[in-house]
Amino acid sequence: MKRASVGLVLLLQLMPSINCILDRSQFPDSFLFGTATSSYQIEGAYLADNKSLSIWDLFTKIPGNIRDGSNGDIAVDHYHRYMEDVELMHSLGVNSYRFSISWPRVLPSGRFGEINHAGIEFYNKLINALIHKGIQPFVTLNHWDIPQELENRYGTWLNPQIQEDFGYFADVCFRAFGDRVKYWVTINEPNLTVLFGYFTGQYPPHHCSKLVGECQPGDSKTEPYIAAHNVILSHATAVGIYRKKYQVEQKGMIGIVLNAFWYEPLRNLPADRLAVQRALSFYVAWILDPIIYGEYPPEMRKLLGSSLPTFSLEEKKKLENKLDFIGINHYTTLYAKDCMFSPCDFDSHQWLWNASVWFTAERNGIPVGVPTAMPRFHVVPYGLEKIVSYVKERYNNTPMFITENGYPQGSNHNVSTEDLINDSGRVEYLSNYLDSLTVAMKHGADIRGYFIWSLLDNFEWSFGYTLRFGLYHVDFNTLERMPKLSAEWYKQFLTGTNALKEKGSKSQKCGTYVTN
Ligand code: GBH
């Protein structure tokens, strides 16, 4: 209580930095407002109760892979503290929670071994606790942690066998949890993981060509496309099982989540405008076109030729399962430059190289938005409206959820806890991005929900514990959770007791931020 009122006072002082007054009533009552997390990033308990190792458990132990040499062995120990975390969400007033299921916790050896009942039990307890508090579980089947055994046996995404394994895992989860879970995501951001896993090599299984880096095996020109092909067909397999065996009775929705940057042309040139289109095709439409239209985007087929797999008749039949919604994880905007007619310098981050697109976050030395603690991550609120409009137009306004949006703070011993708690930059980011979302909705976009990444500070992949995305601060030594200003802001927005509204005189009307 004491903390909350301190938050309120701070929030009022911070008012001038927010451009716009938002109100819960601008969104439908049925709209899902939540927070998001993923199993490897929060659970810890990496060997508890028969869990096996995931590809991330191994990858993080290899020196050099994670900036601070850390890993998710303990993470924020959500596995043991989930009740407390459900309480935090309840106090925020969210009506939904997006989390993921650890595949190696539920099926330690994939389809080659037994179901781990302790794993099923953990998620049952979590789901029941959420529902008891009126919080809808929004469940991702795979947020990157795959049993290492499947990598050892056949190379996960590079092998069609993964389709069978993923289908089996999905079936086990639908059967165990589908009576209570009405929102399913098959796979989180596969477009990013196959490029980071098989093009740049910065994520497991650490494949890339010599040109790109020092990965042992790999072929950055072909493997990302083989991996994505198996991702798309694994999604289709899981949806097929849901449609056939569960959906009629369980009455849920199933979709996929893509990572989605927005791009602006670097130069005012037709070639760079085409580069923007290619950047979107080679990243977002790459996965969504086959699922929704049964084919890869035309410009991908043209440019990649035989490096791009084709769908057999049998596979096309599988793709007819499609999806019920599109999940969009959106954080930031980049500039795209054409490399077909202009020379471009390769560096190991240029993951759109095969698309002949080069990206940068600066134009003539000026960043695309206010910088954050993460490289290439700037605050560009209009990007959310634009990416939503792109997806809406291309896919005939298929229902969409913003499954992640959030803001990173840098964390090292020079930064005090107090500074981390007073996260006015995050409040400003979130209000302006939400405002941008209301503009897209006014233009007719069928958006059904919005999830903030993240509930808690957690293990941020390659950045380890050096970046914090949480609405709640976590002391990584004691694991104590503490609300940040942004938690207070979200709570007030959700309950409509908006301090912002009452002090509204200084603010502009929503939708008045500047686009370029
Ligand atoms: C999402 O991934 C994930 O779903 C979530 O698990 C993650 O915690 C969240 O976003 C926040 O990052 O590679 O140097 O150019 C996005 C993964 C990693 C993509 C960092 C952009 C930019 C830094 N992001 N990356 S760099």
Q: What are 258's strand-pairing partners?
A: 328
pLDDT above 60 for 501? no
Pocket, ligand 1, Cβ cutoff 6 A: 38, 41, 188-189, 192, 259, 329, 349, 374-376, 404, 453, 460-461, 469
What is the token pair recorded at 335? 């500039």
Q: pLDDT tier at 21 (50, 70, 90 boundaries)?
A: confident
Contact call for residues 432 and 20 (beta carbons, < 8 A): yes
Q: How far apart are CA 120 and CA 101, in angstroms?
A: 9
Average pLDDT for 486-503: 78
Ligand 1, closest atom to CA 202? Answer: 13
pLDDT at 496: 82
Mean pLDDT, residues 71-100 taken together: 98
**CA–CA dist 448, 255 (Å, integer):** 13
**Do 68 and 134 form a contact (C-beta atoms < 8 A)?**
no
Q: Per the structure block, which two tokens stand in for 214?
A: 């020092």
pLDDT band with cut points at 50, 70 and 90 for residue 26: very high
Cβ 328 vs Cβ 388: under 8 Å: yes
Q: For a pocket test of ligand 1, which of 185, 461, 463 has the largest count of ligand atoms closer than 8 A to its C-beta?
A: 461
Look at ligand 1, atom 26, and give the residue with the nearest C-alpha: 375
What pLDDT does residue 513 have? Answer: 42
Question: 47: which DSSP letter?
Answer: T
Mean pLDDT of 247-271: 98
Task: Give the pLDDT of residue 220.
Answer: 96
**Per residue in 38-50, pLDDT tens?**
999 999 999 999 9
Tokens linked to 226: 């083989």
The mean per-residue pLDDT over the stretch 161-184 comes to 99
Mean pLDDT of 70-80: 98
Which mutation among 54, 262, 331 tests ligand 1's pocket best, with the greatest number of atoms within 8 A of CB?
331
Counting from 1 in the atom list of ligand 1, the atom nearest the Cα of 257 is 4
Cα(378)–Cα(384) distance, integer angstroms: 13
Catalytic residues: 189, 404
Show the tokens assigned to 213. 């880096």
Residue ranges of domains in the chain, CATH in brackets = 2-502 (3.20.20.80)
Q: Which two tokens stand for residue 391?
A: 């997806």
Predicted pLDDT of residue 7? 53
- Cα-to-centroid distance, 408 and ligand 1 (Å): 10
Neighbours of 81 (CB within 10 A): 18
pLDDT at 12: 53
Residue 450 phi, psi dihedral angles, 5° rounding: -145, 125
What is the percentage of the chain residues whose pLDDT exceeds 90? 89
**Stretch 176-183: mean pLDDT:** 98
Supply angle C-alpha 215, 221, 222, rounded to 5. 100
Cis peptide before 454 (omega within 30 of 0): yes
For 265-298, what is each residue's pLDDT tens digit? 999 999 999 999 999 999 999 999 999 999 999 9
Residue 507 per-residue DSSP state: P
Residue 18 — very low, low, confident or very high, per pLDDT cuts 50/70/90?
A: low
Q: Which atom of ligand 1 is nearest to the CA of 144?
A: 6
At 4 the pLDDT is 47
Cα 36 to ligand 1 centroid, rounded to whole Å? 14
- Mean pLDDT over all residues of the chain? 94
State how far the Cα of 46 lies from the Cα of 310, in Å rounded to an integer: 38
Reduced to 3 states, what is the DSSP secondary structure of residue 263? strand
121-139 mean pLDDT: 99
pLDDT, residue 509, reads 45
CB 503 within 8 A of CB 12: yes
CA of residue 246 to ligand 1 center, whole Å = 33
Res. 72 pLDDT band, cuts 50 70 90: very high
Q: Write b or e for each residue in 213-251: b if 16 or more Cβ atoms lie within 10 A of its Cβ, otherwise e.
A: bebeebbbebbbbbbbbbbbbbbbbbbbbbeeebbeebe
Mean pLDDT of 347-362: 96
CA distance 216 to 214: 6
Atom of ligand 1 nearest to the CA of 374: 23
CA 325 to ligand 1 centroid distance, Å? 22
Taking the C-alpha atoms of residue 494 and residue 488, their distance in angstroms, rounded to an integer, is 10
What is the three-class DSSP state of 229? helix
Residue 498: which pLDDT band, with cuts at 50, 70 and 90? low
Measure 333 CA to ligand 1 centroid, in angstroms: 13
Percent of residues, the chain, with pLDDT higher than 70: 92
Q: Hunting for tokens 């020079």 — which residue is that?
A: 414
